[in-house]
A and B are shown apart, each in its own frame.
Chain A
Amino acid sequence: MSETRVKAVDLQLDADVLVIGGGPAGTWAAITAASKGAKVVLVDKGYCGSSGATAPSGTGVWYIKPDAQLREEAKQSRFGLGGHLAENGWMDRVLDRTYENMNKIAEWGYPFPLDENGTQYRRGLQGPEYMKLMRKKALKSGVKILDHSPALELLADEHGVGGATGVRTQAGDTWTVRAGAVIIASGGCAFLSKALGCNVLTGDGYLLAAEAGAELSGMEFSNAYAISPTFSSVTKTAYYKYASFYYEDGSVVEGAGSQRGRSVIARNLLQGRQVYARLDQAPDDIQPLLRVGQTNFFLPFDRLGIDPFKDKFPVTLRLEGTVRGTGGIHIAGEHCATKVPGLYAAGDAATRELICGGFTGGGSHNAAWAMSSGSFAGEGAAAYAQNLGVKKEFRRLKGLSSSPLSAKAADQSAPRKTEEYVRSIQEEVMPYDRNLFRTEKGLDGSIERLDSIWNELRGKAVTLNSDGVKTREAAAMTATARWMYHSARVRTETRGMHKREDFPQLDNEQRYRLVSGGLDHVWVKTQEVQKEAVIN
């Protein structure tokens, strides 16, 4: 692949709105912007329809009927777990919009199951079906989709962001899209941990946004780990609520569990003691339902001849970073605008703190956030682009990448070098005693090493091919890890998923957000949580 040369004639497009990322948030953004009359281009690093964390999974959805009491209960349910950092107004808006959007999905033909009265039951989505439908709907709405087209840098002038450029890894050329507004919906960052569907999620959008001057928020809430069999990529932790956990000799691991007992599993694994699981608490009548509910959960077991209800199997904790964590690009307005004119963020790329605070359990809030923030951003970006008027025609846009893009081929050793950087970054963010259980000393050590990786990567030329994409991914993961750990260092307490071994208690004085940013010099500042949050 490193031999791929840039062709003379590359792809150049004009649009009102460019969407980067084709998962649920990106497709909702694109479809919504198109419905407002905007001309939309959507680029995906992989394939819109199969890329990302949603496509291969089944997920619940935070779909609550507009009934005051039901809504109140829904908002309360995870407010405490999230460390009281969610906001009432945002939860209301997301509940409203999710309800509306799920009903639209039904109209578009999603095959929901029926309840005993023959009414569609709309509280869950199967990823393959959902994303196939979203792609179809986007195309039908007139959205131009570029698959296998990762973005390498944003383009901007003094008025703000005005497009992006990247490569087409299969066509072997480059693309440039000039757009009135850009929506980043490229997902979170799971650091190439092979958590299901997550290897395209390398924090690319965070880096793009930060290079344009946008801020991040809640990056300390970035240490989500999922239970998974050691021999598999399938990270569906919800089913482990039916699991018992055992040591090799068959004795029970006390306190281990899927909800609050994940730390116990981690501490055992840290001591080199393998933990085994068996879903032996699943009642007989539930077992066939579980098999249908998450078809891919059972796939690895079936293929290896293991019955997870009867056989013990070794488990590990796989990093899901900010994919299930709640940190991301800071949102500065109701339409998911960032503080940079023309730049919007949605889905896991944007902070999910507004509805989850510092913790998310299952996928239902995440799915709700993706479809709501995607459609908010789609509306905002379309209106912004349409109001630009003639200004749009005469923009002198410049690339914003912090490392220089280069049309020349890199030397032969570049891909191997990138792999080494990736392993070094993983060494800082994957170990449980660095990321899951944090200490000031540990964070300081990691920050120092990550700073030096950043300084090295900063000067590396980014070639215009798939090797260059990997170089940029490495830079994005390094930057992400630095915002994470700088934020984690400042939050000297334990709140949401953020755990400080040296500050194991929640500190009421620290009920604020941590906003971060910067590339060569990372900074962190506190910001008040909206006072309208009157939930006790």
Chain B
Amino acid sequence: MIEIISESKCIECNQCVNVCPTNVFDRVENGIPLIARQSDCQTCFMCELYCPVDALYVAPDSEAVIHISEEEIEQQGLLGGYREKVGWGRGRTPVSSHEYMYQLSVKTRF
């Protein structure tokens, strides 16, 4: 579930509020979005992917809140990892065009 919106990183663009399919966040006047309905989070990672500054962290567990802190996430280098793999963001190439996509299909018929 969504665990963290980093106060130091968030630029208040509210993109996560827009894209969350289950409407977990609330806009806040002159502030960073609020995780208002955490239990509605379906752990789809879309908010992380659309965040332009890697300010969000979604923990893999879809049932329980794990209460991880921003410091722990920073230390483990977990912020922005998914966006990087999908290849979104300035100077990156979308993973969709990765040569392995083709090789995987040829070798495994996925």
Please list the residues of chain A having a beta carbon within 8 angstroms of any beta carbon in chain B.
1, 45-47, 49-52, 55-56, 60, 110-115, 121, 123-126, 128-129, 147-148, 169-170, 194, 196-200, 229, 231-234, 238, 285-286, 288-290, 292-293, 295-296, 299-300, 302-304, 362, 466
Contact = CB atoms under 8 A, between A and B. Distances in A.
A169 B25 CA distance: 12
Contacts of A362: 110
Contact of B60 (A56, A112, A304): A304
B88 A128 contact: yes
22 contacts: A46-B22, A46-B23, A50-B21, A56-B46, A113-B96, A113-B100, A113-B101, A124-B101, A126-B86, A129-B94, A194-B42, A194-B62, A196-B42, A197-B44, A233-B44, A286-B107, A293-B104, A295-B85, A299-B82, A303-B59, A303-B60, A303-B78
A295 B95 contact: yes
A267 B42 CA distance: 27
Interface of B: 17-23, 27, 37, 40, 42-46, 49-50, 59-63, 78, 81-82, 85-86, 88, 93-105, 107-108, 110
Given A47-B20, A55-B44, A292 B100 contact: yes
Given A121-B102, A126-B86, A286-B108, A56 B97 contact: no
A124 B98 CA distance: 12
Nearest to B27: A170
A454 to B, nearest CB: 24
A290 B100 CA distance: 8
A170 B23 contact: yes
Nearest to B50: A50
B98 A200 contact: no
Given A47-B19, A128-B86, A232 B98 contact: no
B21 A51 contact: yes
3 shortest A-B CB distances, which residue pairs? A46-B21, A300-B60, A199-B42
A240 to B, nearest CB: 12
Given A50-B50, A113-B99, A56 B44 contact: yes
Given A50-B50, A111-B96, A114-B99, A299 B60 contact: yes
A290 B27 CA distance: 38
A127 to B, nearest CB: 9
Given A289-B100, A303-B78, A124 B22 contact: no
Contacts of A299: 45, 60, 81-82, 85
A320 to B, nearest CB: 13
Nearest to A53: B44
Contacts of B27: 170
Contacts of A123: 105
Given A199-B22, A232-B62, A293 B97 contact: no
Contacts of B110: 60, 124, 238, 293, 362
A56 B20 contact: no
A343 B59 CA distance: 41
A295 B48 CA distance: 14
Contact of B95 (A52, A126, A194, A303): A126
A197 B42 contact: yes
Given A60-B110, A289-B108, A299-B60, 4 more contacts: A47-B19, A50-B20, A50-B21, A170-B27
Contacts of A129: 86, 94, 96
A148 B97 CA distance: 31
Contact of A233 (B62, B94, B100): B62
Contact of A231 (B40, B60, B78, B101): B60
B7 to A, nearest CB: 21
B69 to A, nearest CB: 15
Contact of A115 (B17, B20, B96, B102): B102
